[in-house]
């Protein structure tokens, strides 16, 4: 399947299929001085042989620590050093092979190395259907997630669903949250379909190629309208204000991004007066085994201090994306008391 992402500043293809890695050969042939692969350590361990069977070009590989650890200043500097030591030029390309973490780090390296070189996203998680398109790249600062970054689009996204076969079920769960977010932002029937699934085993049986294509299309439509997040793109933050606060309090990488977003979606639904839907989703997320217990030991004041740092806030007011109707997101100002009430209700629902 081929989709096209088109914004004012970039147009690029998304190849989504089992075996899509072969597409790389025509994408990179004769176009670049040198090719670098930045690969997540776990992904490389599982899939280096498969990659080598499909890739008919020379490359140098830089193996990154698995997951969120790679979105750090230390790894960022090591990556730049690797490129410099290996004489990467402005006509080099980096292939980002891994989940959203490797994609975000690699994209930011590509955005800043020699003021910008090319990169191609090779997402290997369900969640990365979201992160691999749209051009947001970045790393974390100890004081806040994704606080340092740049807009830099890839030349292409090559999503080989073969890589998903080794994905742990906890990562399927995590990626499902972003898929549900895309459904909530777009289509009530799709939400209903997704929420019919009773157990994690049912989720594993989804037609992932089709679901990922739908998710990518929702993101593409929004990014096309508002590339630089002045208006509509903020809607993609549904569930993220509270979710990022959880990640901040628990510690980046200690809870999976999508696991935090799952709870953030409940809070957004509660703030939208969508209590019934919030209840249904909370029941499902408990069935799927999303971690929830830790919330009882998490003081609301700590969450609030992260929520106050959210990039959407203005003039000291808290801005949340809410969903009065499925498919009709809005950005609204909420009070600290309203967020606390939603947090308390969430605790009651997961008890």
Task: Give the residues lining the site for ligand NAD (CB under 6 A).
Answer: 40, 42-43, 46, 66-68, 71, 98-102, 104, 124-125, 127-128, 130-131, 134, 136, 146, 163-164, 166-167, 171, 174, 257-258
Residue with Cβ nearer ligand NAD (150 or 295): 150
DSSP string, 21-61: GGHHHHHHTTT-SEEEEEEEHHHHHHHHHHHHHH--S--EE
Shortest Å distance, C-beta 38 to ligand NAD: 12
Residue with Cβ nearer ligand NAD (161 or 274): 161
> Interior CA angle at 327 toward 230 and 347, to 5°?
95
Residue with Cβ nearer ligand NAD (238 or 349): 238
How far is 158 from 27, CA to CA, in rounded Å? 10
Residue with Cβ nearer ligand NAD (27 or 64): 64
Residue with Cβ nearer ligand NAD (100 or 215): 100
Residue with Cβ nearer ligand NAD (28 or 175): 175
- Candidates 89, 92, 260; CA nearest to 181 is 260
Place of tokens 């020699």: 114
The answer to whether 264 touches 240, Cβ cutoff 8 Å, is: yes
Inter-CA distances, 250 with 98, 102, 187, Å: 23, 21, 32
How far is 180 from 42, CA to CA, in rounded Å? 26
Shortest Å distance, C-beta 19 to ligand NAD: 15
Three-class DSSP category at 330 = strand
Shortest Å distance, C-beta 152 to ligand NAD: 10
Shortest Å distance, C-beta 168 to ligand NAD: 6
Q: CB nearest ligand NAD: which residue? A: 100
Residue with Cβ nearer ligand NAD (67 or 291): 67
Backbone angles phi, psi at 225, to 5 degrees: -75, -35
Structure tokens at 26: 């025509």
Structure tokens at 106: 């690699």
Listed in sequence order, the residues at least 6 apart from 345 whose beta carbon sits closer than 8 Å to its beta carbon are 270, 275, 278
Shortest Å distance, C-beta 208 to ligand NAD: 12
Three-class DSSP category at 255 = strand
């Amino acid at each position: 399947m081929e989709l096209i992402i088109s914004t004012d500043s970039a147009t690029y293809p998304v190849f989504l299929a089992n075996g899509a890695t072969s597409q790389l050969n025509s994408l990179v042939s004769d176009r670049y001085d040198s090719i670098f692969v930045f690969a997540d350590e776990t992904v490389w361990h599982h899939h280096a042989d498969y990659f080598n069977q499909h890739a008919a070009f020379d490359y140098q590989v830089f193996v990154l620590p698995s997951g969120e650890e790679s979105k750090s200043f230390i790894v960022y500097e090591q990556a730049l050093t690797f490129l410099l030591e290996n004489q990467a030029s402005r006509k080099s390309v980096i292939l980002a092979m891994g989940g959203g973490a490797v994609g975000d780090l690699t994209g930011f390296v590509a955005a800043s190395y020699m003021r910008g070189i090319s990169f191609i996203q090779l997402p290997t998680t369900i969640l990365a259907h979201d992160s691999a398109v749209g051009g947001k790249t970045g790393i974390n600062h100890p004081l806040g997630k994704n606080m340092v970054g740049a807009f830099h689009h890839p030349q292409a996204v090559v999503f080989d669903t073969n890589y998903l076969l080794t994905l742990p079920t906890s990562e399927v769960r995590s990626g499902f949250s972003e898929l549900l977010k895309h459904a909530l932002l777009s289509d009530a029937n799709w939400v209903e379909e997704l929420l019919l699934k009773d157990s994690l085993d049912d989720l594993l049986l989804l037609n992932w190629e089709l679901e990922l294509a739908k998710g990518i299309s929702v993101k593409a439509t929004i990014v096309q309208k508002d590339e630089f997040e002045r208006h509509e793109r903020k809607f993609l933050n549904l569930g993220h204000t509270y979710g990022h606060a959880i990640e901040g309090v628990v510690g980046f990488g200690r809870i999976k991004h999508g696991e935090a977003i799952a709870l953030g979606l409940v809070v957004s639904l509660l703030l939208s007066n969508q209590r019934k839907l919030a209840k249904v989703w909370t029941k499902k997320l408990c069935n799927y085994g999303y971690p929830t217990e830790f919330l009882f030991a998490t003081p609301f004041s700590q969450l609030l201090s992260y929520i106050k740092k959210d990039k959407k806030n203005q003039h000291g007011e808290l801005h949340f994306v809410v969903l009065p109707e499925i498919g009709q997101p809005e950005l609204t100002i909420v009070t600290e008391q309203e967020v606390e009430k939603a947090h308390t209700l969430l605790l009651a629902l997961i008890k």
